[in-house]
Amino acid sequence: MAPALRACLAAAGPDAFATDVASTPAGSMQVVLWRGGAGIACHVSGEGRVGLEPRPDLAPPAPAAPAFFLDRRCADARRVDAPDGTVLGWIAYPAC
């Protein structure tokens, strides 16, 4: 999951954050992103190709819902590390 989250956030830009991620039966990953109040669907293929699609129909996340960021944005954000100690990202909340 972490590689898909990181790929989608990198493609969407530094202000984006993720609120949901799921695998598909075909082996790809679907990630729900938010940037500037707008919802974005991100699809990462099994080969690592990233596609972004605006989703104006998505309801915005609750201010305290869990969200994944590439950078630390809040003092109380929790760091997510890989087994080797590499920082993968931060868990915080959209209102952060």
Report pLDDT digits (tens) over 58-67.
999 999 999 9
Give the mean pLDDT of the chain. Answer: 93
Contacts for 34 with CB less than 8 Å, ≥ 6 apart: 16, 17, 18, 19, 40, 60, 61, 67, 94
Output the pLDDT for position 35: 95
Rounded Cα distance, 5 and 81, in Å = 13
56's tokens: 């104006």
The number of distinct structural domains making up the chain is 1
Residue environment code for 35-49, b if the CB has 16+ CB neighbours within 10 A, otherwise e: beeebbbbbbeeeee
Domain that holds residue 74: 2-92
Residue type for 3, please? P
Report pLDDT digits (tens) over 11-23.
999 999 999 999 9
Percent of the chain at pLDDT > 70 equals 100
Query: What pTM does this model have?
Result: 0.89
